Structure 1
Amino acid sequence: MAARFVVEADGGSRGNPGPAGYGAVVRDGDTGQLVAEAAGFIGHATNNVAEYQGLIAGLRAAHALDPDASVDVRMDSKLVVEQMSGRWKIKHPDMQPLAAEARTVFPRDRVSYTWIPRERNKDADRLANEAMDAGRAGRQWEPRPKAPATVAEPLPEPPLETTAPKAGWAAPADLGSPTTLVLLRHGETPLTPEKRFSGSGGTDPELSDKGRWQAERAAEALAARGSIQAVVASPMRRTRQTAETVAARLGLEVRYEEGLREVDFGDWEGLTFAEVHERYPADLAAWLGSAKARPTGSGESFATLTHRAGLARDKILARYPGKTVLVVSHVSPIKTLVRLALGAPPDSMYRMELSAASLCAVQYYADGNASLRLLNDTSHLR
C-alpha cells in the first residue's frame, strides 16, 4: 500500500529580498512521526521564492521515500497554498517556473494543500532559519545527527505533565524565587452570557459594556496587588482589550503570544452547547470523550491546544524568570495551564469553572514543580 505523507514547508528572506533559505519536514501521515527533513540556503531571494523552494524540497523528500505516496502539504503561506490549489493565478515571473517544477514531483491528484497558522509550522520555520544561518557562515546546512522523532498530530503533552518531579516534604528548600503566572480570563463579550462557543475561528467579538467594567475592576485589583512586572496576552480582540485596560493602569506594555489564543471550535463557533448537540451529536460525543478529537470542520483538538499552550508557558517562564507575570487569555488555555500544573488528566478541564474576568495563579519552581495558588477568584467583581 502506498504511503501517506504530510509535508510542512516554509521559507524566509532576511530583507525580502535578501539572504534567503527554506526548510521542510516530511511526516508519516498516520502516526505524525518525522521521517525526513530538508533545508537549504538559496542566496538573495524573496520570501515567496524561498517558500516555493521549501515546497519543492519537501515534495522531493517525500518522493524519495515513496514515489507512489499521497501527500498533504501544509504551509503558513496563503499565497503558495492558494496558487498551488489553483484558486489564485501565478503572475510573478520568478514563481511561475517554481510552481511548475513543484507540480512535476507528484501527480496533481495525489497532492493536497492546506493553510496552517505559523505557530503550527515551527519545524519548517526552524529549518529555514538554520539554513540562513549556515549560509551567513559560508557553509551548507546539514541535518542534526540523530534528531529525535517529533509528532505533528496528535501532539505530545508538554514534559511538565508526565515528568515533573513530585513535590514533597523532602524537596530542596532553596529553589530561588518562583516565577508566578497570574492568569486572567478576559471580560464578558455579547456571546459570554449566552454560553456560546467562541474560539479563534469565529467572529472575534469585543468586550461588552459589562466586560469593560470587569476589566476595569481587574485592573484596580491587580494595581492594588502591586506585584505584576509584565503583561502577556492572547492577540484576540477581547483579550487585547482586557490586557490593555490592566496594563494602562499598571504602566506596563503588553506582549502578545499566539499560543495563548482560544481553541478553534470549527463549525461550532457561535452555537450553544444544545445547538451543537442537536446538529453534531456524534462529533460532540467524540470531543467530550477524547482530547485528540476535534470540533466539526476546521476545529482544533485539546491535544493541540495543550502543546501550544505548554510552549507559550515555557516561553514566558524563560523570558521572565523569578518574576510575576499577568497572562490574559481564554477559558481553554487557562484551564489547560491549571491542569498541567496539577498533573491532572485532560477530562479535568470539564470539572473547572472559570468566570469571565476571574483570576488564577500558578507558581513555577526551578526544579520543574508547579503550585496552584488561586483558582477562579472573582472577589474583585463583587
Structure 2
Amino acid sequence: MELLVIRHGQSEADILEVHEGRADYHLTELGENQARKMASHVQEHFPPDIILASTLKRASRTAEILQEAIGCEISYFDELREFDNGVLAGLLRKEAAVKYPLPSGGRPAHIPIQDGESAIELRYRAEKIFQQIIYDFKETERIAIVSHGGLISNFLEAFLNLPVQAKFQFHTGDTGIHLLELKDDIRAVKFMNSLQHLKKGKLHC
C-alpha cells in the first residue's frame, strides 16, 4: 500500500494573516492553480485508486481538483480536518497575540486551547485515522490523502511510530506531497514535501 499525503493549496487565510485551523476559508486563485499543477503531476506519475479528504473547504476543493484529473472515487473524513484551534480560528494573528497570549514556556501538550483541542488530542486523532485507513483500505494499492499541515505532521509521526511528545515537526508547503509505503512489516518513506510540480511553470495569482 502506498499513501500519497497531500496538503491543500494556498487559502484566503494566508492573505488575511489570520489563524486558520478550523476556520473554513476557500482556496485563493493561486491555491487553485497550485492544486491543478499538483493534480496533473499526480495523474502523470502516481495516480491513486481513491482519494480521502478533509471536509474543510480548502482541502475538499483541492481534493476535488485532484479527482477531476484522476477520475477516481473521493471520500470525506472529519478526522482529516486541521487542528481545532478553538478561540483562535479566524482571529487576526496580531489580535490573538494580545487576547490569547501563549503561556510562558508554551502550552503543555495535554492542555487544550480554549474551545479547541490539545496537542495530544490532535496526535491521537491522527493516529486513529491512520489506523482506520490502513485497516479499511488494506486491499487498496495507492491512496491519496488530502489534508492540512498540522494534521499531516502528526499523521507522519503516527506512520513513523514516533513517541506522542516527540519534538518533531514535518513541514508541508502548499500542495506539498509525501509518498509513504507500507509493505509487510516495513514502513518506507519514498519522499517528503515534494513541490516539484510547482516548478514546472510560473504561477499567477
Q: Is the 8 A contact 1:276 1:284 kept in 2?
A: no
The answer to whether the Cα contact below 8 Å between 1:277 and 1:284 also exists between their aligned partners in 2 is no
- Hey, what's the Cα distance between the residues in 1 that align with 2:72 and 2:136? 16
Provide the rounded CA distance (Å) in 2 between the counterparts of 1:327 and 1:226. Answer: 13
Q: Helix, strand or coil: the match of 1:348?
A: coil
- The answer for unaligned runs of 5 or more in structure 2 is 200-205
Q: Flag the 1:255–1:340 CA change in 2: closer, same or farther, 3 A.
A: same
- Are residue 198 (structure 1) and residue 198 (structure 2) matched? no
The verdict on how the C-alpha distance between 1:195 and 1:250 changes in structure 2, with shifts beyond 3 A counting, is same
Note closer, same or farther for the CA distance 1:275–1:366 as it changes in structure 2 (3 Å cut): farther
Percent sequence identity is 24
Structure 1 or 2, whichever has the larger Rg, is: 1
Out of 189, 196, 199, the residue aligned to residue 379 of structure 1 is 196
Alignment: residue pair count: 197
CA distance in structure 1 between the partners assigned to 2:162 and 2:92 by the alignment? 27
Change beyond 3 A, Cα 1:323–1:292: same
Alignment of 1:283-302 (within 5 A): 283=103, 285-287=105-107, 290-295=108-113, 297-302=114-119
- DSSP-derived class of the 1:328 partner: strand
TM-score relative to the length of structure 2: 0.86
- In 2 relative to 1, CA 352–315 (structure 1 residues): closer, same or farther, beyond 3 Å? closer
Of 121, 128, 150 in structure 2, the residue corresponding to residue 332 of structure 1 is: 150
CA contact (8 A) 2:130 2:158 kept: no
Q: How far did 1:320 drift?
A: 2.1
- Contact 2:86-2:116 within 8 A present in 1 as well: yes
**Alpha-carbon offset, residue 275 of structure 1:** 4.2
**Partners of 2:33 and 2:127 in 1: CA distance:** 30
State the TM-score, normalizing by the size of structure 1: 0.48
1:348 paired with 2:167, answer: yes
Q: In structure 2, the residue corresponding to 1:281 is in which secondary structure?
A: coil
Letter matched to residue 185 of structure 1: R
Cα distance in 2, alignment partners of residues 182 and 226 from structure 1: 8
Shift of 1:272: 5.3
Residue 305 of structure 1, aligned match among 122, 126, 129: 122
RCO higher in structure (CA 8 A, sep ≥6): 2
Q: Secondary structure at the match of 2:12?
A: coil
What's the CA shift for 1:284? 7.5
Q: Is the 2:52–2:145 contact (alpha carbons within 8 Å) kept by the matching residues of 1?
A: yes
- The alignment partner of 2:125 has SS state of helix
